[in-house]
Amino acid sequence: MGRSGRRKKITKYRRYSFFNIGTLLFGTVFIYMVISTFMYLTEKHITPYEVHKGAITGNYRYQALSLRTEEVVNAPQSGSVRYFEREGSKASAGSVICAVNETGSQSLASISDFELDDRDESRLRDTMMSFTINYSGSGFQRVYDLKSGVEGLISEIVEDNSSDYVSVRNQCTAPDSGFVIYSIDGFETVTEDQLTSDMFSQTSYDEVGLRNQKSVRAGDPLFKLITNEDWTLYFPIDEKLQTELADAEKIRFRFLKDNETFTAPFAIVRNGDEAFGRISLDNSLVRYATDRFLEIELVLNKKSGLKIPSSAIVERTFYRIPEEYVIQNQDTEKEIVLKVESFAEDGSSSVRYVTANVYKKEDNDYLVDHQLLNEGDYIQLEGSVNRMQIQEKDVTTLHGVFNINKGYAVFREVTVIDENEEYCIVESNNIYSLAAYDYIVLDASLVTEDEIVY
């Protein structure tokens, strides 16, 4: 048989339908994910907050301005200048602080000639720490003050470690005893009655370092002396703090530079419409002589309790029910029973027993949810014909939070004893309120009572 007569066997491949079980499962999962994503993006997101004990302290930090008795000493003539005293050291009257137009060796010791001792390391570290604590982005020019200060301090350390003999003439001596400072900033003559709030903005603060100047002209400032160990700190205060400290004669505060705490006389001074706190000190100036601005924290006798965010606070209205009209629940103080008589539109009455949660007991009254009762209802005294009618005068308002320990929102009354812009301190010894480690809704505006919270 010829090739043309042979039959060709053709095998057809089976076609698979697009709609099979795998496609169906994948499509189902995909649709579920889309729906879940949509629901997540559109539903309310309730953030819980765990209640802890605490106190409010962080709102009482201030940049305090230090005013002292200061005397600027100017150069008697022009020429090159060399300094001999450490900045911040106490110099007696007549001590040689520097010299102008000196003769003798001008060479300085090289860094390799000595090592920093513990005191020198501490001084450098304190200088940079002070800058770090007081730094703000709006006062970047203070970086240059740091550079000048560190260069001056290093120069001073090198001078102290130089063994070169120096013959000094044209000496500049301290006219009075005092702490030696190698900078000026324009606040040397400022007095209390000249204070303004603008002075506390460090964006305009300009400190001029004197230690690094190689030469001076006659009349240029060489150094300054703080001639009295009595000094004063000032800081601006608002009306709230004025009220809180109105009767304070002494105040306890902490320097954040080194965490040292002091108690000192305190007073409020006023210049026009502005008020300032004044702290008077008569010691420890040696620790802070080089600082014009010092960050302080007032250590007030703040009340402690449960610390909660202000956003968790909500207001609700309640009916006040006298104790004698309440049927006590023997198992719990948080729940009571009321015998309520209601009237229909046709004038008929009905009596029912209503179980009510107690949100607060105030004097001899119980506060219950106003939604359980209607104005005009009567609360009957059990075993008596006496009754009281629910009226508008029985309505009161409470501040509280939504407790979500059980998975749904339950209003709990709180008594605020201290607060600032972000947090409140509430009493912790109320059986109708909160306890430490309870969970509450961070933003009370997002939920209603009895709403289930996932």
Asked if pLDDT for residue 375 goes beyond 80, the answer is yes
**Is there a contact between 293 and 56 (Cβ–Cβ < 8 Å)?**
no
Q: Are residues 435 and 318 in the same domain?
A: yes
Per-residue pLDDT, 306 = 92
Report if pTM > 0.95. no
Asked if pLDDT for residue 234 goes beyond 90, the answer is yes
Asked if pLDDT for residue 127 goes beyond 70, the answer is yes
**What distance, in Å, lies between the first and last C-alpha atoms of the chain?**
83
Return d(Cα 414, Cα 263) in angstroms, integer. 34
Asked if pLDDT for residue 429 goes beyond 60, the answer is yes
Asked if pLDDT for residue 46 goes beyond 90, the answer is no
Q: Are residues 351 and 387 in the same domain?
A: yes
Per-residue pLDDT, 111 = 47
Return d(Cα 444, Cα 119) in angstroms, integer. 55
Asked if pLDDT for residue 104 goes beyond 50, the answer is no
Where is average pLDDT lowest: 137-141, 154-158, 285-289? 137-141
Would you place residue 268 in the very low, low, confident or very high pLDDT band (cuts 50, 70, 90)? very high
372 SS3 class: helix
Per-residue pLDDT, 110 = 46
Q: Are residues 266 and 370 in the same domain?
A: no
Q: Are residues 194 and 117 in the same domain?
A: yes
Angle CA 367–370–376, to nearest 5: 110
Beta strand spans in 196-245 (E): 208-209, 215-216, 221-226, 231-236
Inside any domain, residue 55:
no
Return d(Cα 428, Cα 326) in angstroms, integer. 26
Beta strand spans in 248-348 (E): 250-255, 260-271, 274-281, 293-298, 305-309, 314-322, 327-328, 335-343
The whole domain housing 284 covers 233-303
Inside any domain, residue 44:
no
Which two structure tokens, joined as six digits, stand for 218? 């006659």
Which two structure tokens, joined as six digits, stand for 39? 């629901």
Q: Are residues 324 and 297 in the same domain?
A: no
Asked if pLDDT for residue 376 goes beyond 80, the answer is yes
Which secondary structure element, helix H or strand E, spans residue 32, and what is its range? helix 21-42
Average pLDDT over the chain, rounded to an integer: 82
Angle CA 242–247–249, to nearest 5: 105
* Closest residue by Cα to residue 53 from 435, 439, 414: 435
The pLDDT tens digits of the residues spanning 81-93 come to: 888 888 888 889 9
* Closest residue by Cα to residue 411 from 366, 335, 358: 358
For residue 334, what is the DSSP state? T
The pLDDT tens digits of the residues spanning 272-287 come to: 899 999 999 999 999 9
Inside any domain, residue 440:
yes
Q: Are residues 215 and 82 in the same domain?
A: yes
Return d(Cα 37, Cα 359) in angstroms, integer. 38
Return d(Cα 192, Cα 190) in angstroms, integer. 7
Per-residue pLDDT, 304 = 82
Inside any domain, residue 54:
no
- Dihedral over Cα of 162, 165, 171, 176: its sign: positive
Where is average pLDDT lowest: 33-47, 197-211, 220-234? 33-47
Q: In this predicted model, which residue has the larger pLDDT, 56 or 439?
A: 439
- Helix ranges restricted to H, 91-215: 118-134, 142-160
Residue 60's alpha-carbon distances to 64, 134, 238, in angstroms, are 12, 16, 11
Return d(Cα 163, Cα 407) in angstroms, integer. 78
Which two structure tokens, joined as six digits, stand for 226? 């703080």
Per-residue pLDDT, 63 = 92
Q: Are residues 413 and 358 in the same domain?
A: yes
- The residue with tokens 């100017």 is 74
119 SS3 class: helix
Per-residue pLDDT, 13 = 59
171 SS3 class: strand
Asked if pLDDT for residue 450 goes beyond 90, the answer is no
Which secondary structure element, helix H or strand E, spans residue 39, and what is its range? helix 21-42
Please state the rounded mean pLDDT for residues 166-182: 81
Q: Are residues 281 and 329 in the same domain?
A: no
Inside any domain, residue 2:
no
* Closest residue by Cα to residue 349 from 319, 376, 384, 326: 376
Q: In this predicted model, which residue has the larger pLDDT, 157 or 325?
A: 325
Inside any domain, residue 152:
yes
Which two structure tokens, joined as six digits, stand for 87? 């900045």
CB atoms within 10 A of CB 9: 5
Return d(Cα 87, Cα 439) in angstroms, integer. 55
Would you place residue 252 in the very low, low, confident or very high pLDDT band (cuts 50, 70, 90)? very high
Inside any domain, residue 16:
no
- The residue with tokens 């002209």 is 217
Q: Are residues 89 and 218 in the same domain?
A: yes
Please state the rounded mean pLDDT for residues 180-184: 93
Asked if pLDDT for residue 157 goes beyond 90, the answer is no
Q: Which of 226, 241, 261 is the last residue of a domain?
A: 226
Q: Are residues 206 and 96 in the same domain?
A: yes
Q: Are residues 346 and 283 in the same domain?
A: no
Return d(Cα 292, Cα 233) in angstroms, integer. 10
Per-residue pLDDT, 255 = 93
Q: Are residues 73 and 101 in the same domain?
A: yes
Return d(Cα 391, Cα 377) in angstroms, integer. 8
- Dihedral over Cα of 233, 237, 241, 243: its sign: positive
Q: Which of 210, 226, 242 is the last residue of a domain?
A: 226
Q: Which of 282, 303, 324 is the last residue of a domain?
A: 303
Please state the rounded mean pLDDT for residues 433-451: 88
Q: In this predicted model, which residue has the larger pLDDT, 251 or 118?
A: 251
Would you place residue 439 in the very low, low, confident or very high pLDDT band (cuts 50, 70, 90)? very high
Q: Please tell me the total count of domains within the chain.
A: 3
Asked if pLDDT for residue 432 goes beyond 60, the answer is yes
Per-residue pLDDT, 344 = 84
Return d(Cα 442, Cα 143) in angstroms, integer. 40
Per-residue pLDDT, 144 = 58
Please state the rounded mean pLDDT for residues 406-419: 87
CB atoms within 10 A of CB 37: 10
- The residue with tokens 């579920």 is 32
